[in-house]
């Protein structure tokens, strides 16, 4: 299926590794010119270079979106070669060990600034151009914890609920404009860091020593009908579809992509 992304320019925040990198690579493979964003210049430029070596078009934007100054640096770099048509707000941090009793208010505020306000900063800087052109896509990457929170990392779950709400509110603001706003609520994502964490858990639980032995049993930590953890590309494929003209009637919604998660 031709997603009709040739000629479009996309900024994917937090794309120097992990899910953001997978999204940037997928958009580039579909013909979009992507701007890879990160705070570490070497890692960010390495991803952009790899995309170009694969035949894609990729630039770089360096900056800390937790600050207004950093967001402005990212905006300036992102639009240097042309306006941004697709904004994927992927930047986010989490702390699996955090719980209600040991997470002070300052930690809540800091996480909210990174996970929510960073998205607001980029929306406010890039949305006027999309609106003026009468076409654009804003996509928030959130987590299923936004609608299925647990006792641990409550501040992270709250920020994901806020990101979903942000996407819906923005769609109302943009009605009849040609610009859509949606969120993708992701379940588990198999990144290198996640795999290392799960291997540690699996060994402690006696599930085996290798990832091949441990992976089938990890579904016990977050049960789902698919029976496994998702690969980054599975989310990136959905984001690429949402970014194109074919998804123009999908607006103001949060798509829960979690393999059919359920509580036991």
The Cα–Cα gap between 262 and 17 comes to 29
Handedness of CA 159, 163, 165, 166 (dihedral sign): positive
Q: Enumerate the H helices of 79-231 as residue ranges.
A: 105-112, 118-133, 154-173, 192-205, 211-218
Token duo for residue 35: 């701007």
**Catalytic residue among 94, 112, 156, 249, which?**
156
> What b-and-e string marks burial along 223-250, b requiring 16 or more CB atoms within 10 Å of the CB?
ebeeeebbebebbbbbbbbbbbeebeee
The per-residue DSSP string of 30-52 comes to TT-EEEEEES-HHHHHHHHHHHH
Active-site residue 156, yes or no?
yes
The Cα–Cα gap between 52 and 45 comes to 10
The Cα–Cα gap between 251 and 165 comes to 13
Residues labelled catalytic? 156
């Amino acid at each position: 299926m031709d997603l009709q992304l040739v000629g479009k320019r996309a900024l994917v925040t937090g794309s120097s590794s992990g899910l953001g990198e997978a999204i940037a690579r997928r958009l580039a493979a579909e013909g979009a010119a992507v701007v890879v964003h990160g705070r570490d210049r070497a890692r960010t430029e390495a991803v952009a270079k790899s995309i170009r070596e694969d035949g894609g078009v990729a630039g770089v934007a360096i900056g800390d979106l937790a600050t207004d100054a950093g967001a402005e640096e990212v905006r300036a770099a992102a639009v240097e070669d042309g306006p941004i048509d697709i904004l994927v707000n992927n930047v986010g941090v989490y702390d699996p060990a955090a719980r209600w009793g040991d997470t002070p208010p300052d930690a809540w505020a800091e996480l909210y600034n990174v996970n929510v306000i960073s998205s607001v900063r980029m929306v406010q800087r890039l949305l006027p151009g999309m609106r003026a052109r009468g076409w654009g896509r804003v996509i928030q990457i959130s987590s299923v914890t936004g609608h299925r929170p647990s006792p641990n990392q409550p501040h992270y779950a709250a920020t994901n609920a806020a990101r979903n709400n942000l996407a819906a509110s923005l769609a109302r603001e943009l009605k009849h404009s040609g610009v859509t706003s949606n969120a993708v609520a992701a379940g588990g994502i198999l990144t290198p860091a996640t795999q290392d964490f799960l291997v540690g858990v699996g060994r402690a639980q006696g599930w085996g020593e290798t990832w091949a032995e441990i992976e089938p049993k990890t579904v016990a930590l977050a049960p789902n009908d698919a029976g496994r953890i998702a690969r980054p590309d599975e989310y990136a494929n959905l984001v690429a579809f949402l970014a194109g003209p074919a998804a123009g009637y999908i607006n103001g919604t949060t798509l829960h992509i979690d393999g059919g998660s359920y509580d036991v």
